[in-house]
């Protein structure tokens, strides 16, 4: 029998994305716990050996190399370079979550992953929290404090400007 660590399951399942998270959150509010359990059993998976981990696509070196190789930056890279506002408008798969906006001081960020998002924020899963829960628990200000504590007031996007 192969034992899979909690971290491997958490990593793999969270990489399934916001659609799964939305489905799970909606089912969590339902009195039918069995449907929630069945959904989690269907979609729970281990993290890839390095696909999105610190040595994979989210690695700092991968993002730096992407920026260095580009003859013409992407539109999103331009938004970050120009420090365009990134306001939280509403919950949705196409919108940045409140925690993400707050963490980046409501300015566009096109960098992500373990090299730039502090472990304390990733472990708490704040990016997946809805705005109401974040505000009720005053976690939006906690996210900002944890991020600033990690970076000592510096902005990690500065190396890409």
Residue ranges per structural domain of the chain: 71-152
What CA–CA distance (Å, rounded) separates 67 from 75? 12
Start-to-end Cα distance in the chain: 50
pLDDT tens-digit map of 11-64: 777 766 777 777 787 777 777 888 888 888 888 877 654 455 555 556 666 666
Which tokens sit at 7? 């971290």
What CA–CA distance (Å, rounded) separates 116 from 33? 36
**pLDDT value, residue 14:** 72
pLDDT tens-digit map of 49-89: 445 555 555 666 666 666 666 666 778 888 988 999 998 98
**pLDDT value, residue 84:** 93
What CA–CA distance (Å, rounded) separates 151 from 82? 21
Give the pTM.
Answer: 0.60
């Amino acid at each position: 029998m192969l034992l899979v660590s909690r971290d491997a399951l958490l990593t793999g399942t969270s990489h399934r994305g916001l659609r799964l998270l939305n489905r799970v959150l909606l089912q969590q509010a339902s009195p039918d716990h069995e449907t929630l359990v069945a959904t989690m059993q269907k979609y729970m998976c281990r993290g890839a050996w390095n696909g999105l981990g610190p040595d994979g696509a989210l690695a700092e070196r991968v993002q730096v190399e992407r920026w260095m190789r580009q003859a013409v930056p992407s539109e999103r890279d331009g938004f970050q370079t120009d420090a365009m506002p990134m306001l939280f408008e509403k919950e949705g798969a196409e919108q940045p979550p409140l925690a993400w906006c707050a963490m980046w001081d409501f300015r566009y960020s096109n960098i992500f992953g373990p090299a730039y998002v502090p472990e304390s924020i990733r472990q708490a899963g704040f990016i997946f929290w809805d705005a109401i829960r974040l505000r009720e628990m005053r976690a939006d200000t906690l996210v900002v404090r944890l991020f600033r504590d990690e970076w000592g007031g510096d902005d990690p996007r500065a190396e890409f400007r």
